[in-house]
Amino acid sequence: MEENKRTLVYLITGGCGFLGKHLLDVLLEKEEKLAEVRVFDKHIYPGKSRTRHGMTLIQGDITDYNSVLEATKGVDVVIHSASLVDVWHKIPASLIYSVNVTGTSRRGNEDTKYEVKHTMAYPKSKAKAENIVLRANGNQVKGGKRLYTCSLRPTGIYGEGHQLMRDFYNLAVERGGLVIGGVPDHIEHGRVYAGNVAWMHVLAARALKMNPEKVGGEAFFCYDESPYKSYEDFNMELLSEFNFRKVCMPGIVLCFLAILNDFLRWILSPFYNYTPLLNRYTLAVASTTFTVQTDKAQRYFQYQPLYNWSQCLARTQSWIRTFPADKQKDS
């Protein structure tokens, strides 16, 4: 392709994170008009954050206005994927709000009305940040141009680089191949592969430029062909070739342990940051069905998953095979 046709400059905030890396890969592969992609992240690790043609690494803090302003000069499209993800009380609520907000029992869809009550800083901050983004749609910016925005909502991302999957794997290895569960069989969650989430971002960005009046100010759930299952059963599907065994605990025992963990976290908080995977919030999320049935992204900007379910599974399992299994072999 002729270089003079490459005119677009993209900025990916959080570009060295889990989703950010998938965004970068898909953008470099699929956006033919890409002239430059700027990867903005607080943590850039030598050797791990490889530079490729058309890519610029920028180390900075999303809460630093001047750093962000400098990074956005001359940018056509901003994909804001920087956030702090925490439902285990590992990170202070004030810091979660600073990054996520200041820096930015049936199947429903984008128009479904439902009661919202957030008890954790992370979901509160994400809801507030989305509201800020959507309200900014149509604002006039410097130079007289208009800012057009939309919001994408992944229901539960998985894929290569997912730290939580690595944690689940390591925990199972430490337990001699046992995965502890207990969520009822009827619970379902919608999961979506990170590469397909990234592809939807690329298509949404194109649509914002081509048809801003239609796409601007809209929210879209991310979806693909990944099957609806509980978090536990979906994770077991990803781990199916690694000979792990699932052992179910009674729900009342899980509830007791979650309450106990929250109590211990409160007691120890002045001296130690106790952050177990199981707490009342994570148990409530895992035990509550959340799925969506929508084709809005297809209707608004012709989204179709870039990877089918077989490819998503194979790519994720190929990554999991790189994990050490020494403890499992010793057990």
Active-site residues: which are they? 122
Contact 253, 182 (CB under 8 A): yes
**Residue length of the chain:** 331
Only one residue has tokens 């052992």, namely 247
Of the candidates 81, 78, 82, which has an alpha carbon nearest to the alpha carbon of residue 37? 78
Beta-bridged to residue 152, according to DSSP, are: 220
Of the candidates 314, 294, 261, 321, which has an alpha carbon nearest to the alpha carbon of residue 89? 261
**Amino acid letter for position 271:** F
Give the pairing type, strands 192-193 and 151-154.
Answer: unpaired
Distance CA 93, CA 143 (A): 37
Contacting residues for 124 by C-beta, under 8 A, at least 6 apart:
97, 118
Helix (H) or strand (E) holding 171: helix 163-174
Contacting residues for 287 by C-beta, under 8 A, at least 6 apart:
183, 184, 187, 251
Give the pairing type, strands 151-154 and 55-59.
Answer: unpaired
**Amino acid letter for position 174:** E
Of the candidates 46, 40, 47, which has an alpha carbon nearest to the alpha carbon of residue 17? 40
